[in-house]
C-alpha cells in the first residue's frame, strides 16, 4: 500500500503532517509506538494522537495495546496476530497463521506472548 492508494480511497484531508506520519508507518515492518518515532516527526504528542485517532477511525491504521501499556500502530492491511516476547519485548507480526476466527465474533487483534527465538 502507498500514500496515493490511501489518499484515493479515503475522504479525509491529507496535511503534510499526516502524509509524513503515513510515510513512516508504511515503511515500518512492525507495529510502532509514539516513542519509536517521536524524533522522526515534526508534530507534538497531542497532534500525533489526534492524527492516529483519525486514521484508526478511517481504518487506515490499526492499533493494539501491549504489555507495557503503550499503544502500537501499523497500517491496516489485514488482521493478523502479533507475537510479543516476554523478555526483550520485541513485537513481531505473525504471518504464518492463515486464519484466526471464532464463529459469531469479529476479531480486531490477536496477541501471542512467549519467548522469541533470540531469547530462548
CATH of 3-75, picked from 1.10.275.10, 3.90.420.10, 3.40.50.980, 1.10.10.10, is 1.10.10.10
CA distance 96 to 111: 14
Average pLDDT over residues 58-80: 86
CB 25 within 8 Å of CB 62 = no
Start-end of H helices in the chain: 3-9, 16-27, 34-37, 45-57
Q: How confident is the model at residue 98 (pLDDT cuts 50, 70, 90)?
A: low
Percent above pLDDT 90 for the chain = 51
Burial of 47 (0-12, 13-18, 19+ CB in 10 A): middle
Interval 22-58: pLDDT, tens: 999 999 988 999 999 999 998 999 999 999 999 999 9
CA distance 99 to 102: 10
pLDDT for position 26: 92
pLDDT for position 5: 85
pLDDT for position 108: 76
88: Cα within 13 Å, side-chain hemisphere? 10
CA distance 48 to 40: 12
Amino acid at each position: 500500500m502507498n500514500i496515493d492508494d490511501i489518499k484515493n480511497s479515503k475522504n479525509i484531508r491529507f496535511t503534510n503532517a499526516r502524509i509524513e506520519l503515513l510515510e513512516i508507518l508504511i515503511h515500518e515492518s512492525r507495529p510502532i509506538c509514539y516513542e519509536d518515532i517521536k524524533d522522526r516527526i515534526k508534530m507534538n504528542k497531542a497532534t500525533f494522537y489526534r492524527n492516529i485517532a483519525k486514521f484508526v477511525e478511517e481504518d487506515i491504521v490499526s492499533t493494539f495495546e501491549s504489555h507495557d501499556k503503550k499503544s502500537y500502530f501499523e497500517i491496516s492491511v489485514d488482521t493478523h496476530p502479533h507475537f510479543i516476547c516476554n523478555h526483550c519485548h520485541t513485537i513481531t507480526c505473525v504471518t504464518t497463521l492463515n486464519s484466526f476466527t471464532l464463529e459469531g465474533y469479529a476479531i480486531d487483534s490477536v496477541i501471542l506472548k512467549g519467548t522469541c527465538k533470540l531469547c530462548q
